[in-house]
A and B are shown apart, each in its own frame.
Chain A
Amino acid sequence: MTTMTVGTPVDKKRLGQTPLERQEGRFRRSLKRHSTPYLLGLVGIVWLLLLFVIPLISGLAVSLMTGNPEQGYTLTWNWSVYYDVFFNSGVSYGLFLWRALWYAAAATLVTIIIGFPMAYFIAFRVSQRWKNALLLLVALSFFVSFVIRTDMWAFVLSDQGPVLTVLRDLHLAGKDFHILGTSAAVIGGMAYNDLAFMVLPLYVALERIDPRLIEASADLYGNKTRTFTRVVLPLTRSGLFAGILLVFIDSAGDPVNASLLGGTHTYVIGQAIQDAYLTNQQYNVAAALSTVLMIVLGIILFVYARIAGTDNIEDLV
């Protein structure tokens, strides 16, 4: 196939070239043609190898070590750690993992509920002049450090903070009503921090929809609800898919929201990994937990992609 497109030797002879010139020209051209994509991809490949694959393998290796912080850890191929952390450790890591997944799912849902109307509004109802300003506003929260802005939230929602003070003064909240330390606070924090991850891909998908398609739906007896469910929503599927991916993954492994906004009842796997590593120096446990988290997320995303990411979702409905 390739030689066909590059040009067969017979063709070259007819052009009056010597065999050497022909070979060299062919080699050079084929080198140019075939190596460019690889050269361009090289940076990314090296990046992934150095910063992703090697840490991944070393993380796996660390999880199979045994030992203690005083005498150090040695690789003993201790596969049973994956069983022990969940069933013999006395710590309910399974619950923390489950909690992290459900918080992440809830936060993702919240970002969809808040983010979809925002993206829709910016894409369809705002004049071209204001679009960029509003998109900047959406991304503006990224300008402040993630930890700082979460901590600011902790201040705003604290028992002595402005929100609860006002609510108590208006007698809308009792003395025992708290926001900080609840699951709602953690989910809210995750949704707040990741909202832009949902809005921006949704905006891109909505922006690409030809307004004539919405007119065509109306022309074909589709009222506003039908037009939305049958035309707009299916056409934003790729944006929704990307948004869910970004928000869910980011929230599932995040320890910051739970530790700053949550309490003892909102302890999640991200915090567990952090504490095992930094506080208890159980490097093998921390590594095993993060490997499990990664595999669980991988499976969830694979299943999700197979169901929602195919081109033929309409055939399933």
Chain B
Amino acid sequence: MTTLASEGATALPDAATGIAHPAIAIHNVTKRFGDSIAVDDIDLQLAQGEFFALLGPSGCGKTTTLRMVGGFELPSLGNIYLDGRDVTMLPPYKRDVNTVFQSYALFPHLTVFDNVAFGLKRRKVPTGEIREKVERHLEMVGLAGYGKRRPLQLSGGQQQRVALARALVNEPKVLLLDEPMGALDAKIRKSMQLELKRIQREVGITFLYVTHDQNEAMSMADRLAVMNFGRTEDIGTPDRVYDRPATRFVAEFLGTCNVIAPETNGGVLRLPNGTGLEVDGVDGRLPEGASIGIRPEKLVVTRADVAGPVATTNAVRGTVVTATYLGASTEYDVRAPWGGILKAFAQNLADSSRARPGEDVVLTWDAAHAFVLAPSPEPTPLSAEKAEEQAAGVGGTSAQASGAGS
């Protein structure tokens, strides 16, 4: 076990976290479906008790990864370790892992109680203990007294809670959640997020949560991995991945991002119009194909008529193209001197400071808020093809697409 853990630690791209005894270790795992590659050489380690989110667009391989951990798909290459034990070839019913399925998959012929008790009965837990555990878990998810009902008599949110209780009651080493909130409406989703996080803290079980919703991932996860074309492009805490994304894809998937291709002549970074550009941790040289990213809310918008002289670094004077008033904030599209559009989100502190379309503004930012974006790795031709196919099919057959390989 110790050898395994240390071996895993060296292979971990996010080695800084130094996980000693990972709850799950996914080791160089690749999954092919026929000619297409759904998961492309993934390395992941989840710490004990961690809430980990796998985030990515439909068809990126996140559900396939989860299904391999659950035992529903066999990896084409690589190994999966659960608490240090190699479970790669084990069938689902021999793994100490439980799943909350996307469509809940509650047994329609069983009552809520029997649904939750299903796993315990299969493991021959004594009847009295089953009763006690099932009732405790139904209470935990807020469904005390619902034991005698059938799943079809419950609302979507309630069914989801039953699915959660049914998985948690077995006290698995890891809980897998496959877009569990996909079918809920926005309001219930918000409150379920808070509750799920509370439950996770309460039971202390490691959660592997698959979602395509970046808000969901960021609000709940301790760490997250952003996947694209079957690969993990970035792994880290939500604030780190948001503030210092590794690639352009990650930056844009987690929120709006201004991407600027700087000029690097003379060992100094410059904006396309020649203004100096300072980025923390960059000494004037950028990797090939890299660009600079700045989040719109990090840009300070000042009307040109009150701004005074424009600074020589990290400042741009431009014209407002559109100003969208959102109550708490205003979103600006500003045309930069080099022709590109910069997005800026400004808090509505005082009416007098707001700019209207056609007016000139000065955008300034802190060197600490800009970051270097490595180019996204080129997708393997095969997996790119598959992703395109899926993206094309999303409109009509979304269920199928997400079921097969998202």
- Which A positions have Cβ atoms within 8 angstroms of B? 210, 212-213, 215-223, 226, 230-231, 234-235, 237, 314
**Is the CB–CB distance between B119 and A221 below 8 Å?**
yes
A216 and B101 within 8 A (CB):
yes
Instruction: Say whether A235 contacts B93, CB under 8 Å.
Output: no
User: What are the residues of chain B within 8 A of A231 when measuring CB–CB?
Assistant: 107
Nearest-neighbor residue (CB-CB) of A233 within chain B: B109
Contact of B92 among A212, A219, A230 (CB under 8 A): A219
On whether the beta carbons of A219 and B107 are closer than 8 Å, the reply is no
Give the Cβ gap from B398 to chain A, nearest Cβ, in Å. Answer: 16
- Inter-chain contact A314/B123, CB cutoff 8 Å: no
Report yes or no: B123 in contact with A221, Cβ–Cβ below 8 A.
Answer: yes
With A218-B93, A220-B166, A221-B119 as known contacts, state yes or no: A314 contacts B101, CB within 8 Å.
no
B-side residues, CB < 8 A to A, are 70-72, 91-93, 97-99, 101, 103, 105-111, 114, 118-119, 122-123, 166-167, 170
In the complex, what residues of B have CB within 8 A of residue A237's CB? 109
List of B residues within 8 angstroms of A226 by Cβ: 122
Q: Find out whether the CB atom of B110 lies under 8 angstroms from the CB atom of A314.
A: yes
**Minimum CB distance partner of A237 in chain B:** B109
Smallest CB gap from B70: residue in A: A219
Q: Which of A218, A220, A234, A235 has the most CB of B within 10 A?
A: A220
**Pair A216/B123 contact, Cβ less than 8 Å:** no
Contact of B170 among A216, A221, A223 (CB under 8 A): A221
What's the least CB distance linking A207 to chain B, in Å?
15
Which B residues are CB-close (under 8 A) to A217?
A: 107, 118
Q: How far is the CA of A219 from the CA of B105 in the complex (A)?
A: 11
Q: With both chains docked as a complex, state the minimum distance between the C-beta of B118 and any C-beta of chain A, in angstroms.
A: 5
What CA separation (Å) do A314 and B103 show in the bound complex? 24
A216 / chain B contacts, CB cutoff of 8 Å: 99, 101, 105-107
Given contacts A218-B93, A314-B110, contact A213 B122 (CB under 8 A): no
Contact A219 B99 (CB under 8 A): yes
A215 vs B106: C-alpha distance in the bound complex, in angstroms? 11
Closest Cβ of chain B to A10, distance in Å, is 36
When distances are taken between beta carbons in the complex, the residues of chain A under 8 Å from B170 are 220-221
Residues of A within 8 A of B167 (CB): 219-220
B122 touches A212 (CB 8 A): no
Q: List 26 A-B contacts (CB under 8 A).
A: A210-B103, A212-B101, A213-B105, A213-B107, A213-B108, A215-B92, A215-B99, A216-B99, A216-B101, A216-B107, A217-B118, A218-B92, A218-B93, A219-B97, A219-B167, A220-B93, A220-B118, A220-B167, A221-B93, A221-B122, A222-B122, A223-B91, A226-B122, A237-B109, A314-B110, A314-B111
Contacts of B70 in A (CB 8 A): 219
In the complex, besides A213-B105, A314-B111, 14 extra interface pairs with C-beta distance below 8 angstroms are: A212-B103, A213-B107, A215-B72, A215-B92, A215-B101, A216-B99, A219-B70, A220-B98, A220-B119, A221-B93, A222-B118, A223-B122, A226-B122, A314-B110
B98 near A219: Cβ-Cβ < 8 Å: yes
**B166 cross-chain contacts in A, Cβ below 8 A:** 220
Which residues of A have CB within 8 Å of B93?
218-223
Q: Which residues of A contact B105 (CB under 8 A)?
A: 210, 212-213, 215-216
Most buried by A among B103, B109, B110, B166: B109
Check A314 against B122 for contact (C-beta < 8 Å).
no
* Chain A residues within 8 Å of B101, by CB: 212, 215-216
Task: Please measure, in the bound complex, the distance between the C-alpha atom of A46 and the C-alpha atom of B110, giving whole angstroms.
Answer: 41
Q: How far is the CB of A218 from chain B (nearest CB, A)?
A: 4
Q: How far is the CB of A229 from chain B (nearest CB, A)?
A: 11
Q: Which residues of A contact B107 (CB under 8 A)?
A: 213, 216-217, 231
Question: Which residue from chain B places its CB closest to the CB of A213 in the assembled complex?
Answer: B105
Q: How far is the CA of A222 from the CA of B118 in the complex (A)?
A: 8
In the complex, what residues of A have CB within 8 A of residue B119's CB?
220-221
Residues in A with CB closer than 8 Å to B103 are 210, 212
Task: Report the separation of the CA atoms of residues A226 and B103 in the bound assembly, to the nearest whole angstrom.
Answer: 22
Q: Are B109's CB and A234's CB within 8 A?
A: yes
Residues in chain B near residue A223, CB distance under 8 A: 91, 93, 122
Chain A positions within 8 Å of B111 at CB level? 314
B352 to chain A, nearest CB (A): 54
> Which residues of chain A have C-beta atoms less than 8 A from B72's C-beta?
215, 218-219
Q: How far is the CB of A236 from chain B (nearest CB, A)?
A: 10
Q: How far is the CB of A209 from chain B (nearest CB, A)?
A: 9
Minimal beta-carbon separation of B64 from chain A (angstroms): 14
Q: For B98, give the chain A residue with the smallest CB separation.
A: A219
Q: Which residues of B lie under 8 Å from residue A222 when comparing CB positions?
A: 93, 118, 122
Give A234's nearest chain B residue, CB to CB. B109
Judge whether A220 and B110 touch: CB under 8 Å: no
Among B72, B118, B123, the one with the most A-chain Cβ atoms within 10 Å of its Cβ is B118
* CB nearest to B124 among chain A residues: A221
Residues of A within 8 Å of B97, CB to CB, are 219
Of B92, B109, B114, the contact of A235 (CB 8 Å cutoff): B109
In the bound complex, how far is the Cα of B371 from the Cα of A276, in angstroms? 98
Q: Which of A210, A218, A235 contacts B71 (CB 8 A)?
A: A218
For the complex of A and B, list the 9 residue pairs with the smallest distance between their C-beta atoms, beginning with the closest: A220-B119, A212-B105, A221-B122, A216-B105, A218-B92, A234-B109, A219-B99, A221-B93, A220-B118
With a cutoff of 8 Å between Cβ atoms, the chain A residues found around residue B122 in the complex are 220-223, 226
Could you tell me the distance in whole angstroms from the C-beta of A310 to the nearest C-beta in chain B?
12
Minimum CB distance partner of B116 in chain A: A220
Which residue in chain B gives the minimum CB-CB distance to A223?
B93
Q: Complex: how many Å from CA A277 to CA B101? A: 62
Name the residue on A nearest B178 (C-beta). Answer: A212
B111: nearest residue on chain A (CB-CB)?
Answer: A314
Whether A235 contacts B108 by the Cβ 8 Å rule is yes
Collect the chain A residues with CB atoms within 8 Å of residue B92's CB. Answer: 215, 218-219
Contacts of A215 in B (CB 8 A): 72, 92, 99, 101, 105
Question: In the complex, A210→B104 CA distance in Å?
Answer: 11
A237 to B99, CA, bound (A): 27
Q: Which residue of A lies closest to B169 (CB)?
A: A220
Rounded to whole Å, the gap between the CB of A194 and the closest CB of chain B is: 27
Distance in Å from the Cβ of B404 to the closest Cβ of chain A? 12
Rounded to whole angstroms, the CA-CA distance of A237 and B110 in the bound complex is: 13
CB contacts (< 8 Å) of B114 on chain A: these are: 314
Closest CB in chain B relative to A224 CB, distance in Å: 9
A216–B99 Cα gap in the complex (Å)? 8
State in angstroms the CA–CA spacing of A218 and B310 once bound together. Answer: 65
Closest Cβ neighbor of B72 among chain A residues? A215
In the complex the two chains form, what is the Cα distance from A314 to B118 in whole Å? 13
How near does chain B come to A241, taking the closest CB pair, in angstroms? Answer: 13
